[in-house]
A and B are shown apart, each in its own frame.
Chain A
Amino acid sequence: MASDRGRATEEVGATVETEQLQITSATPDSALLDLPWRLPLADWPTDVLAALPRGISRHVVRFVRLDGRVLAIKEISESVAFREYGLLRQLRKLEIPGVVPLGVVTGRRDDDGEPLEAALVTEHLAFSLPYRAVFSQALRPATATRLIDALAVLLVRLHLVGFYWGDVSLSNTLFRRDAHQFAAYLVDAETGDLHRTLSQGQREYDLDLARTNIIGELMDLAAGELLDDEVDEVGIGDALIARYSELWEALTGVESFASDERWRVAARIERLNDLGFDVGELSITTDIDGTTVRIQPQVVDAGHHSRRLFRLTGLDVQDNQARRLLNDLDSYQAATERQEEDPQLVAHDWLQNVFHPTVRAVPRDLRRKLEPAQLFHEILDHRWFISEQAGHDVPMPETTRSYVEHVLRHRPDEKAILGLAPGEEDPDDVAEPGDPEDDHFHLST
């Protein structure tokens, strides 16, 4: 471990010459040293903070802007900070969607030489949305279902790699738009543990905790009058369990069939692909007389569509976005009658002639509103919508212009939403008038 830890140090205060601030990080960034580590995080001045932190957390968490990035800083004890940092790094290696761990800051002292808690630094996910923001932007019941779907996929993926979360909740998750769906990212791994495999008890407990937390969080939104009265909190919590169980069964369940039904092997793989998973290993066993075949996926990897799109175009996007882009690529191939050609060549042309021109046609100042792949997806939706109205196919450049004027301009900027739902007052904020935190309340929302 020691070899891959870059280290940067700074002397803190003349009074404590031997004590040094230490940053442990795989990707050290000297700009981190400019942050006011001598102050307790709760007292950091407004000018370094990006906005008010908003999850429900038992620790002090703040967001700062640094070199064009947004960093999340959490104050916790040193051993817990190193543990979580290590876990987040392992999860990254396992390709689990989560926040990027940047480092741990230890050896902090205030100006009087008193020790301060260690801090875990992670990079905030651009274009990610806290659930409170998602719920208040579009209070359709379908939104809740899509969030729960995304969380179920994340939880299944975590459980497949042997990660027991211990505190699954909407607060510990961030959501990114993923075409018509959302993709969920793990934010907090403090209570988690990586095992070789998880027992059924561990999975069920994690799931039960998730259900309780989600219902609690929704009840909290309801208590703050931020949730439509129609929303059934318990129903949404139950939906997570149903969705998770369904997906877990699809990914890991044993399927038996007669030996003359071998097409069912291909069908199972196709079904998993459709759910966004690749099958890395499938066990096939037959009984002694060979009349029954049993299959069970042993290794499945999420990201089936995003891997395929990446191979073809080099675009690195989320799975449902990739699915949407691949569909458009397929139509392009059909429309240009190039089905016989090398798919990579066709993909290259599609990128040059369709994707890039469309994204570039969006004025630069509006591109912060959505990720490029999400923009493209919404423009495709818009094309379908205006083509139907016009009664003929509207070309992409015209669609894009229409989309920018009629849709995008009126959308909120989502590159860095940190914070409360628009219009929500921070109930935990005991700010006095003139409190430095007052001003940057809506800085990004």
Chain B
Amino acid sequence: MATVTFDHATRIYPGTERPAVDQLNLHVEDGEFLVLVGPSGCGKSTSLRMLAGLEDVNGGSIYIGDRDVTDVQPKDRDIAMVFQNYALYPHMSVADNMGFALKIAGKPKAEIRERVEEAAKILDLTEYLDRKPKALSGGQRQRVAMGRAIVRQPQVFLMDEPLSNLDAKLRVQTRTQIASLQRRLGVTTVYVTHDQTEALTMGDRIAVLKGGLLQQVGTPREMYDTPQNVFVAGFIGSPAMNIATFKVDDGVAHVGPARIKLEREVVAQLTEADGGKVTVGFRPESLDIVSSTDADAIPVLVNLVEELGSDAFVYGTLTGEFAHDAEVRSGAGEDQVIVRIDPRDVPMKGDTIHVAIKPGKAHVFSAATGNRLS
């Protein structure tokens, strides 16, 4: 078991100017499950492949434990890429399917059997060890594939979008299995996905990347509660956070007659580049339904109500002078606002509801840099 450290690790593909991964500094604790997440082209897979030894590192270093592995070949790094290949061999028993890599490595039979049995116990496969794969269900076959990686007892597991080829149902099942298995094994794991839900549900910590740059790293709760910039704010959370640009006068952000009092230290951080504006983010669940006469009421025209039983969401647009003044966007698109409402009191399409941001629930970012101010 080991820590993993990226120390100013940089990857520049030949023929390109912008680094695919730019000065990445990241420390993964021993036994931690770290998820690299971000949109396509953000550098997450490249970072993982650098750790695996599949990509050259053009600057900085990578450590596994205290060992500098920057120039070490993949097979000598003591890592296991999980799920790359999970075709099972039909003539071999489940035990042989799990242990054959150890046999190739010349490990003694008794040790192989011991490691296989240990892995089988964790994977709930003990009673199937001497059967052929055909006797197993789809989920059990997948666990055999995981067993292959486990018996090697690597220092680090690497997983690159392992669930992307699975159908939706198996994906959710396997997600839970991988996460709980990793906790039981306690092996340091770096996991790549583009899916923020996967990241939030699986990771001990999440690192969000964009354009080759690390945006923020933290626990799922930290990422959700205190996103460090507008990008992370909009990327983490489902439905996504509403993000609007408001004018600032006398320490108050306002759009139409609605206003949000900004903390003094936030106002103090505004610069000329911000042009007298701030970007304010508010999650769908951070809005209260208020009376139209309320001073801070923001009117929203209901376009669609999504009822999920436990929750309901209004997808709407700002109306009146708000529609003119505010630059708003959300996961639903430009000019769209998403509001979580009481599922037992649902407006109709075409209704106008009035909402206000709950006190203390606004995330304030610099309009110029997108960095968090609050």
Q: Which residues of A contact B (CB under 8 A)?
A: 56-58, 76-77, 79-80, 117, 164, 166-167, 169, 171, 190-191, 196-197, 199-202, 204-205, 208-209, 211-213, 215-217, 219-221, 223-224, 226, 234, 237, 426-430
Chain A residues contacting B52 (CB-CB under 8 Å) are 201, 205
The 10 closest A-B pairs by CB, nearest first: A224-B91, A220-B89, A427-B90, A223-B91, A205-B74, A201-B53, A428-B90, A199-B56, A56-B87, A208-B75
B73 touches A77 (CB 8 A): no
B103 touches A213 (CB 8 A): no
A234 touches B91 (CB 8 A): no
A208 touches B74 (CB 8 A): yes
Chain A residues contacting B134 (CB-CB under 8 Å) are 427-430
**A198 nearest CB neighbor, chain B only:** B54
A427 touches B132 (CB 8 A): yes
Q: Known contacts A56-B90, A427-B134; is A205 also within 8 Å of B14 by CB?
A: no
27 A–B pairs (Cβ distance < 8 Å), ordered by A: A56-B87, A56-B89, A57-B87, A58-B86, A76-B165, A167-B84, A190-B165, A196-B14, A196-B15, A197-B14, A201-B73, A205-B74, A208-B75, A212-B104, A213-B85, A215-B100, A215-B104, A216-B89, A216-B104, A217-B89, A221-B91, A223-B91, A223-B92, A223-B96, A224-B91, A234-B104, A427-B91
A219 touches B90 (CB 8 A): no
Contact flags B147-168 to A (C-beta < 8 A → 1, else 0): 0000000000000000011010
B55 touches A80 (CB 8 A): no
Interface presence of B122 (CB below 8 A): no
Interface hub of A56, A76, A211, A213 (most chain B Cβ within 10 A): A56
B54 touches A201 (CB 8 A): yes
Chain B residues contacting A430 (CB-CB under 8 Å) are 134
B96 touches A212 (CB 8 A): no
B167 touches A191 (CB 8 A): no
Interface hub of B14, B73, B104 (most chain A Cβ within 10 A): B104
Contact among A205, A211, A223, A226 for B89, CB-based, below 8 A: A223
Chain B residues contacting A57 (CB-CB under 8 Å) are 87
A405 CB to closest chain B CB, in angstroms?
38
Distance between Cα atoms of A28 and B267 in the complex (Å): 63
B167 CB to closest chain A CB, in angstroms?
7
Q: Which residues of B contact A (CB under 8 A)?
A: 13-15, 52-56, 73-75, 84-93, 96, 100-101, 103-104, 132-134, 164-165, 167
A219 touches B92 (CB 8 A): yes
10 new A-B pairs (CB below 8 Å) besides A205-B52, A226-B91? Answer: A169-B87, A190-B165, A200-B73, A201-B55, A205-B74, A209-B84, A212-B104, A216-B104, A217-B89, A430-B134
Distance between Cα atoms of A224 and B133 in the complex (Å): 13
Distance between Cα atoms of A80 and B103 in the complex (Å): 33
Q: Tell me the dominant secondary structure on chain B's binding face.
A: loop
Chain B residues contacting A169 (CB-CB under 8 Å) are 85, 87
Chain A residues contacting B93 (CB-CB under 8 Å) are 223
Chain A residues contacting B54 (CB-CB under 8 Å) are 164, 199, 201-202, 205
Distance between Cα atoms of A200 and B92 in the complex (Å): 33
Contact among A80, A211, A226, A428 for B164, CB-based, below 8 A: A80
Chain B residues contacting A76 (CB-CB under 8 Å) are 165
Distance between Cα atoms of A191 and B101 in the complex (Å): 20
Distance between Cα atoms of A215 and B13 in the complex (Å): 34
A77 touches B165 (CB 8 A): yes
B165 touches A204 (CB 8 A): no
**A164 nearest CB neighbor, chain B only:** B54
Chain B residues contacting A224 (CB-CB under 8 Å) are 90-91
Contact among B55, B73, B91 for A220, CB-based, below 8 A: B91
**A195 nearest CB neighbor, chain B only:** B13
Chain A residues contacting B132 (CB-CB under 8 Å) are 427
**A188 nearest CB neighbor, chain B only:** B87
Distance between Cα atoms of A57 and B88 in the complex (Å): 8
B362 CB to closest chain A CB, in angstroms?
37
Chain B residues contacting A201 (CB-CB under 8 Å) are 52-56, 73-74
**B56 nearest CB neighbor, chain A only:** A199
A117 touches B167 (CB 8 A): yes
B142 CB to closest chain A CB, in angstroms?
9
B101 touches A171 (CB 8 A): no
Chain B residues contacting A79 (CB-CB under 8 Å) are 164
Chain B residues contacting A166 (CB-CB under 8 Å) are 84
Q: Known contacts A76-B165, A80-B165, A209-B84; is A204 also within 8 Å of B74 by CB?
A: yes
Distance between Cα atoms of A208 and B54 in the complex (Å): 12
A131 CB to closest chain B CB, in angstroms?
13
B195 CB to closest chain A CB, in angstroms?
13
**A167 nearest CB neighbor, chain B only:** B85
**B133 nearest CB neighbor, chain A only:** A428
Chain A residues contacting B15 (CB-CB under 8 Å) are 196
A42 CB to closest chain B CB, in angstroms?
12
Distance between Cα atoms of A428 and B104 in the complex (Å): 24
Contact among A117, A205, A429 for B75, CB-based, below 8 A: A205
B101 touches A205 (CB 8 A): no
Distance between Cα atoms of A419 and B101 in the complex (Å): 26
Q: Known contacts A56-B87, A199-B54; is A220 also within 8 Å of B92 by CB?
A: yes
Chain B residues contacting A200 (CB-CB under 8 Å) are 56, 73
Distance between Cα atoms of A169 and B87 in the complex (Å): 11
B290 CB to closest chain A CB, in angstroms?
41
**B132 nearest CB neighbor, chain A only:** A427
Chain B residues contacting A208 (CB-CB under 8 Å) are 74-75
Distance between Cα atoms of A201 and B73 in the complex (Å): 6
B89 touches A77 (CB 8 A): no
**B76 nearest CB neighbor, chain A only:** A204
Chain A residues contacting B92 (CB-CB under 8 Å) are 219-220, 223
A113 CB to closest chain B CB, in angstroms?
17
Distance between Cα atoms of A298 and B277 in the complex (Å): 56
**B86 nearest CB neighbor, chain A only:** A58
**B90 nearest CB neighbor, chain A only:** A427
Chain B residues contacting A429 (CB-CB under 8 Å) are 134
Q: Known contacts A191-B85, A212-B101, A215-B100; is A220 also within 8 Å of B56 by CB?
A: no
Distance between Cα atoms of A80 and B163 in the complex (Å): 12
**B75 nearest CB neighbor, chain A only:** A208
